[in-house]
Structure 1
Amino acid sequence: MTLEATDTSVLRLPSTNGRSPETSGTAGLAELAHATGTRFILAVFTTLSGKPCAKLVPVESVDELATDGVGFAGYAAGSMGQVPKDPDLVAIPDVSSFTPIPFVREGLALVHCDPYVEGKPWPYAPRVILKTALAQAAAKGLSVKVGTEIEYFLVQRDENGTLRTADALDTSRQPCYDARDVTRMYEHLTSISSAMNTLGWGNYANDHEDGNGQFEQNFQYADALTTADRVITLRYLISVLAEQRGMTATFMPKPFADRTGSGMHMHLSLWQGDTPVFPDANDSCGLGLSKTAYSFVAGILEHACALQGVIAPTVNSYKRTGATSTASGATWSPRYATYGGNDRTHYLRVPDANRVELRGGDGSANPYLATAATVAAGLDGIERDLDPGEPGTGGTATLPMTLLHAMDALEADPVVSGALDAAGAGVADYFASLKREEFFHWHNTVTPWEIDSYLTAF
């Protein structure tokens, strides 16, 4: 991850300033659709669980989409804080997020939307939650930029339904960065890379990660909302293009017990206008960070246990952070809330003076919620002038052992739960209730391990 200036425009059109042209209303969306040869638009919103939901809108109805949005039954979509009797969610497109995706289907584009109910932004909508958090940062004179690392496995199922690596030759004990494994997946990886670069995202690396069948594809950092939108878009692109080649792309944190899990590492920085807040050449601690940056780090560390409930939000997440060994010899996932320099064993890594890398999140994280909660934790550290201690330390807390422990921590933490409730009260309780239900649904399932361990043990 570098922090060099780059063209991050969604479309290669003049004066885009990092996203699609800042037009609004009917003319803006219609103009973009016609200029790019778009025939159909996926109007997308994301549930609290991270599921991308969409309706496919023909370009002939672009005027109605832009002015009126498109309606959804919120309860049917999933975790959106609704019951069957509630009125429609109306997805209103953010024209600046318009993204042509002809590499999926010719003439197809997508646009990210903000859900409204009865004319008001819906507080359970993750994108609305993040926009609220960023507005609170802006009120303090700060903007947030984020880069993410997208890790995933490419898998298939055999005739018995058993999960296996899609590339049957990807079997070495330490496959990380293996040029041969990358080359065999050349068509898939380059199709994703070309898509990102066509969109102006600045893809700068694609590699084989630590587990057999595991890959990572990176793009340049941008403002926090743009990056969250791009994470959702990229997961969609990777999934669809892998499926076209007979593979399944999974962002599941730990699909294989003996392999490294998939993280969603977040690189965060604060800015005042065009000036970065984090660097300070006079830092006596040796990391090159400002006092504000250290307080931001301290806030994240103080709220780490509650934060895990948002950035590692599934039962399977805790198979990743709780792992003690893998086939390759390292788990690459933190177990304690510590920070340090260019050291990947920490919860918060400081690779250089421009940013901090949060390594606790995984591939199941909703990028909107993850960013909102992390920013709230960091800003709390700044407001309270917290000190993280010397690099290499920072926290003695062990991260939660299970999703249930994480929900206990989230509900007890007014800062992290407050981030979820920022656009309206009740979201944090609803989210925690869903996750407790998920935990007990898993807990009530009899697994093969239990049969093997107990069937004839007594």
Structure 2
Amino acid sequence: MATSLAELTRADGVRFILATFVDLAGKPCAKLVPVEAVDDLEADGVGFAGYAAGALGQQPYDPDIMAIPDVGSYTPLPFLREGLALVHCDPHVNGEPWPYAPRVILRRLLARMPYTPFVGAEVEYFLLKRDISGNVVVADGRDEAAQPCYDARGVTRMYEHLTTVSTAMNSLGWGNYANDHEDANGQFEQNFRFADALTTADRVITLRYVLHMLAERRDMIATFMPKPFTDRTGSGLHLHVSLWDGETPLFPGEDDPRGLGLSKLAYAFVAGVLDHAAGLHGVIAPTVNSYKRRGAATTSSGATWSPKRASYGGNDRTHLLRVPEGDRVELRGGDGSANPYLAIAAVLAAGLDGIERDLDPGDPSGPGRFADSAAELPVTLLHAVEALERDAVVREVLGAEVAAYYAGRKREEFFSWHNTVTPWELDTYLTAF
């Protein structure tokens, strides 16, 4: 079995490797490394100017970030370019893991967890294009139904794109098991099987990159923007989480009096996530646009599918935490702008805190109903950032300095938007007085 990048690339006929990492905002950064330099890449990594790369806590005068490849994440991409592969990297500075790097943050959290977490991710996205006026519109001009979800015709019209993505995922061993039209016009979801937490985070980043590239081939724009249209459903990043001890799943419970099939440990995990829900939103819904999705009153389809309160229940998609089966819980608050490394790390830390404090979430909310204890979730990015800053557990998983840096950037993002005059304001106020 191949154990080095050199062996892997030789076996696959790879000529170039994308040495890849993401910044705190989830921007994919890479250098294209020829296989002639693969030994140097594996031994020493490849250097980046961190300040230029993005939100990584660096200034122009700081030393290089060295992206050290994780050979286990090696991913051939022949369906994008013949001879191309990708490897996810852990950024280092002066020989030490860089604390502002999202993959490093998740690794640090996993190293202290007494359980093995497995995570599944539902990646929702839109396929769009620009019309002759430059406006963003749905790529499929026939996709106009008021309730397009699961529409067989919409799926068939996007057959070439969807099947290309599905075949790519299965060629990589991800186990694609469904591809569907989601609730908004132009919106799709392509599912793959759950894996360990780090692998799933890597795959979300890889899939976003692959979707961008394959959509561009057909003159489309793939976007994970939470809510690109005012009157339509937004895109989520739902996370299905379970904890294991070796080969033993820890969430299923026998004779659960609450009827969800969960163990006491699972309920404590749920309670931890609910207790930290407000602070978590600064990470799982990290943009101004996130709160256009979460705060939507309604959509053309009749539902927003975005929770507004910190509640949990059974197989009910109106809650922040859904328990579809007793083997896992689904966090429905994350959206398409979430950085998967940060989102998974923060959710696991919140759940672990619930376990360590032996919390109990109370009884589940019923279908379409919410317990009195279910707090309102943040209504804007600014509210979420303030909640994050008050939440010691979320701050700790990011790291104190990183949390302050991240919150500062997010506050600037909010006020940059807040200080921008929008068409809505002109329409509402221009001749109102």
**Is this a same-fold pair by TM over 0.5?**
yes
**For 2:352 and 2:192, how far apart are their aligned partners in 1?**
26
Bigger shift: residues 411-420 or 388-397: 388-397
Q: Secondary structure of the equivalent of 1:57? A: strand
- The Cα of 1:285 is off from its aligned counterpart by 0.9
Q: Secondary structure of the equivalent of 2:237? A: coil
> 1:216 maps to what in 2?
189
- The Cα of 1:396 is off from its aligned counterpart by 2.2
**For 1:143 and 1:396, how far apart are their aligned partners in 2?**
29
> 1:17 maps to what in 2?
none
Q: Secondary structure of the equivalent of 2:334? A: coil
1:283 equivalent to 2:256? Answer yes
The amino acid across from 2:251 in the alignment is F
> 2:407 maps to what in 1?
432
Q: After the TM superposition, which residues 295-334 of structure 1 pair with which residues of structure 2 at under 5 Å, given as runs? A: 295-334=268-307
**For 1:163 and 1:110, how far apart are their aligned partners in 2?**
30
Q: After the TM superposition, which residues 227-376 of structure 1 pair with which residues of structure 2 at under 5 Å, given as runs? A: 227-376=200-349
Q: Secondary structure of the equivalent of 1:356? A: strand
**For 2:294 and 2:419, how far apart are their aligned partners in 1?**
22
1:104 equivalent to 2:80? Answer yes
**For 1:175 and 1:386, how far apart are their aligned partners in 2?**
41
Deviations 1:376-433 (A, max 9, x none): 0000000001010101156421110100000000000000111111xxx400000000
Q: Secondary structure of the equivalent of 2:205? A: helix
Q: Give the share of equivalent positions with the same residue, in percent.
A: 71
- The Cα of 1:52 is off from its aligned counterpart by 0.5
**For 1:261 and 1:73, how far apart are their aligned partners in 2?**
34
Q: Secondary structure of the equivalent of 1:426? A: helix
> 2:391 maps to what in 1?
413
> 1:83 maps to what in 2?
59
**For 1:445 and 1:131, how far apart are their aligned partners in 2?**
38
- The Cα of 1:284 is off from its aligned counterpart by 1.1
Q: Secondary structure of the equivalent of 1:90? A: strand
Q: Secondary structure of the equivalent of 1:123? A: coil
- The Cα of 1:159 is off from its aligned counterpart by 2.1
Scaled by the length of structure 2, the TM-score of the pair is 0.98
Q: After the TM superposition, which residues 437-456 of structure 1 pair with which residues of structure 2 at under 5 Å, given as runs? A: 437-456=412-431
**For 1:159 and 1:38, how far apart are their aligned partners in 2?**
39
**For 2:122 and 2:134, how far apart are their aligned partners in 1?**
29
- The Cα of 1:366 is off from its aligned counterpart by 0.2
**For 1:408 and 1:317, how far apart are their aligned partners in 2?**
16
- The Cα of 1:163 is off from its aligned counterpart by 1.0
Q: Secondary structure of the equivalent of 1:149? A: strand
1:37 equivalent to 2:13? Answer yes
**For 2:403 and 2:158, how far apart are their aligned partners in 1?**
41
Q: How many residues align?
A: 428
**For 1:157 and 1:417, how far apart are their aligned partners in 2?**
40
**For 1:127 and 1:253, how far apart are their aligned partners in 2?**
22
**For 1:454 and 1:324, how far apart are their aligned partners in 2?**
22
**For 1:32 and 1:279, how far apart are their aligned partners in 2?**
38
**For 1:338 and 1:162, how far apart are their aligned partners in 2?**
38
**For 1:404 and 1:320, how far apart are their aligned partners in 2?**
15
**For 1:133 and 1:411, how far apart are their aligned partners in 2?**
19
**For 1:325 and 1:399, how far apart are their aligned partners in 2?**
17
1:403 equivalent to 2:381? Answer yes
Q: Secondary structure of the equivalent of 1:71? A: strand
**For 1:238 and 1:99, how far apart are their aligned partners in 2?**
15
CA root-mean-square deviation? 0.8
The amino acid across from 1:455 in the alignment is L
